[in-house]
Structure 1
Amino acid sequence: MLPSNSKRVTPVLFLTVLFASQSATAQPTAKDIRDVPADLQVPQMTSGNAAPGMRVKQRLPGYPDAVYHALYLPTDWNRNNKYPIIVELAGNGPFTNPYGDVSTGYVEGSKLGYGIASGQKAIWLCAPFVNNAGSANVQTWWGNEPDHDAEPTVTYLKKLVPFVCENYGGDANRVLLTGFSRGAIACNYIGLHDDEIASLWKAMILYSHYDGVHKWSYPESDTDSAKQRLKRLGDCPQLICSEVFDGPTNIAGTRKFIASTQIKVRATYLSTGFRNHNDAWILRPSDARRMLRLWVNENFDANTATP
């Protein structure tokens, strides 16, 4: 059984859980993302004013040029309407592996939010991780070694969501937080840092890694600290995804950790079916992407994703 505090399981969730349970124990002989042609292409980040279908580089008022985020307005954007928001956190960089997977560590390289909604019906924000001084974006973790201060990044997110709601018709009651690798860990480490930031999220999608499963180099990455953050999740549902691989941080390891906390988590588990540590899987048709979108419609907003 999956840990859940929901009182009912719909057919959509049942199918998602079933697929994940089968894939989580599979051996790492899964297909490569390059074997499946992409049907989506993420728009390049450009300078200029925000407009429907454009992904632009922006800065919050009061921040220097080196601290920036990427804003994408959906193709159907209209100033008079309200839209759900997908906030995305990138993986560590610079990263490469033998499969040819790459992560730059910067907002420009993020892909999940675009793939979730296909560039339609939702505002997509790629938020930065900020250094200790709050003066520049960083590629690796958050803050600077050795203390990796999370507060500047937390503060930026607390300002970013209201800014987009006020200026671009974002709906504060429909904000989804997602992240890849470092960003997946940060969904809890940053996104549940305190009660104020935890209250921003209606749902979360975490792809590859989970706060508390492994002890990393930054402070308070231990299990006990992660449990304290997880307590702030409340009723917010999480879709926890991973590529196919053997190791303590895979889906099975994450399920084991969450069960060990004895905290009620509305968690659904999903294998991408690919071997790659690469958020570009979401740009390709697959059973996993279809199930992810069904989960989004069931747990976040019924009109955001087209399975």
Structure 2
Amino acid sequence: MRILVTGAAGFIGSHTSERLSDMGHEVLGVDNFSDYYDVKLKELNARTLSEKGIEIKKIDLCIDDLSSLFEDQIDYIFHFAAQPGIAVSSTFNDYISNNFIATQRLLDAIERLDDKPFFVNIATSSIYGLQATMTEVEAPMPASWYGVTKLAAEQLVLAYSRRGLLQSTSLRLYSVYGPRERPDKLYTRLIDCGLNDKAFPLYDGSERHLRSFTYVQDIVDGIVSVIGREEVTNGEIFNLGTEEENSTATGIATVEKILQKKIKIDHKPARPGDQSRTKANIYKARKLLQYDPGTSLEDGLREQVAWFKENFK
């Protein structure tokens, strides 16, 4: 199949693109190479994909003409492109534009096609709010601009399915980590601080936060499992993550164990909208997608530390 991946130079998008290519699919990637974080990391990911024969076009879904993406038949879309996280540097307009408007423009381009691809929307556990422990049928209560706009984008995609305009599914991901993780995320920052003798910024109370830290390859297993299951996934939402909970304090201790070094801590005020607990309820994904994540936190972090040392140390 010919598959379009948006946000293909990003963390999870690049891993998914690579997996799809290894599965024998033809992958076309798009990314706007945003400077939200150091573009060099996206360029590194893009080079890795290019070596595997995966083309990445520099396209901004918010403003550029998208017709070139559909000159040849596209069978599937995996939509990762988004404004991530809850950074204070991101404005509400950033989230509206990159999470909602970009999705709407992509859907608008698809609506004009005679043969429409199956649309896989990549959502987030932030949709649920401060306590992300719910099933897919419970009411979301997002507490951040990120969560609000990702929920809006998800519902827009599913609205197209409800109206019979295309087939789609939405996957809510939980606390993904591993090689290529963004530099603003927990474990990349911890590893960087530990290896380079920097102080790690720890937000007040966050050491007690509980997370379903999920290794990226386990997440990709769930994402690609949608292929071939269109009948059971169309119009549906799935949680993807590990059922194992670990605190931020445990995460810090695990990185210190792997590095065999104590990490300096710089205490910061609490961040508004930050989740206090996530625990992935994956009963539905286990039943319908045969999803079964199994990588331990320590094993996954050892892989991430090795990747960081190879590329940045």
| TM-score interval, smaller chain | 0.3 to 0.5
Normalised by the length of structure 2, the TM-score is: 0.33
Higher helix residue share:
2
Instruction: Choose 1 or 2 for highest CA Rg.
Output: 2
Normalised by the length of structure 1, the TM-score is: 0.33
Structure with the larger RCO, 1 or 2 (CA within 8 Å, 6+ apart)? 1
